[in-house]
Amino acid sequence: MAERKLPAPAVSAETQAYWDAAAKGKLLVRKCTSCNQLHHYPRTICPFCFSDKTEWIEASGKGTIYSYSVMRRAPVPYAMAYVTLAEGPRMVTNIVDCDFDKLKCEQAVKVVFKPTEGGGPPLPMFTPA
Amino acid sequence: MSIKGKAYIAGIYEHPTRHAPDKSTAQLHAEVAKGAIEDAGLTRADIDGYFCAGDAPGGAWPMVDYLGLKVRHIDSTETGGCSYLIHLGHAAEAIAAGKCSIALITLAGKPRTSAMPPRAAGAEADFEAAYGATTHNAYGMCAMRHMHDYGTTSEQLAWIKVAASHHAQYNPHAMLRDVVTVEDVLNSPMISDPLHRLDCCVITDGGGAIVVVAPEIAAKLKRPKIKVIGASEFIKTQMGGKVDLTYSGARFTGAASFAEAGVKPSDIKYVSIYDSFTITVLIQLEDLGFAEKGKGGRLVQDGNLIAGTGKLPFNTDGGGLCSNHPGNRGGLTKVLEAVRQLRGEAHPKVQVKNCNLALAHGTGGSLGLRHGSSTVILERE
């Protein structure tokens, strides 16, 4: 099967640290120190309490599949998913390196980092744990 | 202040085309505008309010220029496919506030001829686009989780398409007029699990328009009086990562519009429900209160949405699943068929008897990522 080419993610000034960490194999989550809640995708101002007291924390990289859909019509099929991180937030991602026909909601997964085109930062994706 | 009874739909028009490589998008806007204004028995010079969304080439002011309008109120709220239902509510608000008295809403697009221009990216794009998030797989994830949580089946989703196809056979303009079976849907190619090709709406060129007027204008026109009695809007988000794919913004807009109209789901004789995919219909029907959460599959199965035999006739023009989804935006046509039903102008084979109360609901954006919602309730006076 042809290799799926991943476009480099757009990187904004607000999210540069997230992608720099991904390049080092670390998955970051944004935490608000005012309301102590974690959110994703990361924002400087907390989407829950609107405090500007937010910081990066390193996630464990463990999670479960909340939902998924295998894009069969793509030139190289891929599994779109939401993963519920062990820390709480659900993130848009892909499930990779597995038999797509055996995926299930609530299945345990762990983070892996996949290179993108043009030397962009790698994308955090997940594979069955 | 409520908009209940403050505005009437006087004119509607749906472009008969489903493929228009020989026309410009602005031209389609003008053709549907002309059709709706003439349907109302008005003239272009009567229009004093104009509403359009992201499909209008260049936005509101180039369209006003192209159409040769002279308006004192404009609104280019953009929430994807449900924009035009929100426009209808906003038109009623503007009319109630005296900002205009005859409002025109237009939609047109040509995605069948060529890909629509991409929407400007939001801040979330860094975290979604590179993963290959698309309309199909985002709705697929909604369906997958609904099946996981509630036991909804592909057969139940297929019944939604089957019902739409039963209606489309009577619509000479529908893109797909063949009646299909549950097996046909299940045997069609898988696009993005668990959605098959026949779970997806059509891609068509075309458009439509609506003319909304003040009560004193409606009283002078020779068209049936279709009154706006409830309208609402909402944006459902990912809630900072507290994502829940099993419900939509219809949970909020349905409740708000029913409260404003002073009616309940069991009073509604006909529903136009946004049908980008079969799962869209099922989730919205639950959220609007036509079935308990998780029991939408039982509501839609066994032909229950088919006019004449089913309990809840829906999308009697064939909807987006079979007839038309102009510009990849299905909200405006939802209003059009609701008005036809209330006027008694639907095809005789699908006309709902004594149809005095109808609901039109739209979703714009992506049910699986973030979306706008709007519910409009209409009454024939």
pLDDT tens for each residue of A54-74: 999 999 999 999 999 999 999
Helical packing angle, B278-288 and B135-150, nearest 10°: 50
Q: Which of residues 30-69 of A touch B (CB under 8 A)?
A: 37-41, 43, 46-48, 66-69
What does the pLDDT look like over B79-135, one tens digit per residue?
Answer: 999 999 999 999 999 999 999 999 999 999 999 999 887 777 888 888 999 999 999
The mean of the pLDDT values for chain A is 96
Q: Is A107 in CB contact (< 8 Å) with chain B?
A: no
Q: Could you tell me which residues of chain B have a Cβ less than 8 Å from any Cβ in chain A?
A: 121, 123-134, 136-145, 148, 189-195, 238-243, 245, 369
State the average pLDDT over residues B283-289: 98
Rounded Cα distance between A29 and A41, Å, is 8
Q: Counting beta carbons within 10 angstroms of the beta carbon of residue B1, is it exposed (0 to 12), middle (13 to 18) or buried (19 or more)? A: exposed
List CB contacts (< 8 A) between A106 and chain B: 148
Q: Is A78 in CB contact (< 8 Å) with chain B?
A: yes
pLDDT band, very low/low/confident/very high, at B20 (cuts 50, 70, 90): very high
Q: What is the pLDDT of residue B120?
A: 79
Nearest CA in chain A to B246: A67
* Cross-chain Cβ contact B240/A91 below 8 Å: no
Q: What is the pLDDT of residue B70?
A: 98
What does the pLDDT look like over B307-356, one tens digit per residue?
Answer: 999 999 999 999 999 999 999 999 999 999 999 999 999 999 999 999 99
* Cross-chain Cβ contact A105/B239 below 8 Å: no
Does residue A45 carry a pLDDT above 70?
Answer: yes
Percent of chain B predicted with pLDDT > 90:
97
pLDDT band, very low/low/confident/very high, at B46 (cuts 50, 70, 90): very high
Contact B260, B3 (CB under 8 A): yes
Minimal Cβ distance to A72: which of B123, B132, B191: B191
Q: Is A93 in CB contact (< 8 Å) with chain B?
A: yes
Please report the domains of chain B, with CATH numbers, ordered by start residue: 8-111+205-225 (3.40.47.10), 126-203+229-380 (3.40.47.10)
Contact B209, B107 (CB under 8 A): yes
Shortest alpha-carbon distance between residue B137 and chain A (Å): 5
Shortest alpha-carbon distance between residue A117 and chain B (Å): 10
Does residue B186 carry a pLDDT above 70?
Answer: yes
State the average pLDDT over residues B287-297: 98
Minimal Cβ distance to B241: which of A70, A89, A106: A89
The mean of the pLDDT values for chain B is 97
Task: For tokens 């389609």, name the residue.
Answer: B28
Question: A118 in helix, strand or coil?
Answer: helix
- Between strands B73-75 and B49-51, the pairing is parallel
pLDDT band, very low/low/confident/very high, at B234 (cuts 50, 70, 90): very high
Q: Which residues pair with A91 in a beta bridge?
A: A83
Give the containing element (helix H, strand E) for A21: helix A16-23
* Cross-chain Cβ contact B141/A80 below 8 Å: yes
| Residue environment code for B89-103, b if the CB has 16+ CB neighbours within 10 A, otherwise e | bbbbbbbbeebbbbb
Helical packing angle, B278-288 and B154-168, nearest 10°: 100
Torsion (CA) B273, B289, B181, B272 in degrees, nearest 10: -20
Rounded Cα distance between B317 and B235, Å, is 27
C-alpha dist (Å) from residue B23 to B26, B227, B330, B355 = 8, 33, 20, 36
State the average pLDDT over residues B163-179: 98
B94 Rama class: left (phi>0) / alpha (psi -120 to 50) / beta? alpha
CB pairs under 8 A between A and B: 123
Rounded Cα distance between B318 and B273, Å, is 11
Shortest alpha-carbon distance between residue B192 and chain A (Å): 4
Provide ipTM, 2 decimals: 0.97
* Cross-chain Cβ contact B241/A14 below 8 Å: no
Contact B228, B8 (CB under 8 A): yes
Q: What is the pLDDT of residue A21?
A: 98
Minimal Cβ distance to B193: which of A6, A9, A69: A69
Shortest alpha-carbon distance between residue A121 and chain B (Å): 11
Q: Which residues pair with A9 in a beta bridge?
A: none
By C-alpha distance, which of A5, A1, A27 is closest to A115?
Answer: A5
Q: What is the pLDDT of residue A111?
A: 98
Does residue A1 carry a pLDDT above 70?
Answer: no
Torsion (CA) B360, B339, B104, B209 in degrees, nearest 10: 90
Shortest alpha-carbon distance between residue A95 and chain B (Å): 10
Cis peptide before B150 (omega within 30 of 0): no
Residues ≥6 apart with Cβ < 8 Å to B172: none
Rounded Cα distance between B322 and A61, Å, is 44
Query: Which sequence spans correspond to the domains of chain A?
Result: 16-128
Rounded Cα distance between B5 and B59, Å, is 30
pLDDT band, very low/low/confident/very high, at B260 (cuts 50, 70, 90): very high
Does residue A125 carry a pLDDT above 60?
Answer: yes
* Cross-chain Cβ contact B194/A69 below 8 Å: yes
State the average pLDDT over residues A49-57: 98
